[in-house]
Amino acid sequence: MINVFIDGAEGTTGLRLENRLNGMEGVKLLRIEEEKRKDAERRKHFINSADAVFLCLPDEAAREAVTLAGNHVVIIDASTAHRAAPGWAYGFPELSQKHRDAVKASNRITVPGCHASGFNALVYPLVCSGTVSADEVLYCTSLTGYSGGGKPVMAEYEGEDPPRGARPYALGLTHKHLPEMRAVCGLERAPIFMPVLTAVRQGMLVSVPLNAPAEPIHKELADWYRGAEHVRVMPFGGEGSLENGRLNMETLNSADDMEIFVFGNDCQTLLTARLDNLGKGASGAALQCMKLRFSI
Q: Give pLDDT tens digits along the chain (296 positions).
A: 999 999 998 888 988 999 999 988 899 999 999 888 888 899 999 999 999 999 999 999 999 999 999 999 999 999 999 999 999 999 999 999 999 999 999 999 999 999 999 999 999 999 999 999 999 999 999 999 998 888 888 888 988 888 888 999 999 999 999 999 999 999 999 999 999 999 999 999 999 999 999 999 999 999 999 999 999 999 999 998 898 899 999 999 999 999 999 999 999 999 999 999 999 999 999 999 999 999 98
What are the chain's domains? 2-112+282-293 (3.40.50.720), 114-277 (3.30.360.10)
Question: Does residue 267 carry a catalytic annotation?
Answer: no
- E strand segments, the chain: 2-7, 27-30, 52-55, 74-77, 89-90, 108-110, 139-144, 167-168, 192-197, 204-210, 231-233, 258-264, 269-275
Q: Which of 56, 114, 140, 185 is catalytic?
A: 114
Nearest to 291 by CA among 117, 115, 78, 93: 93
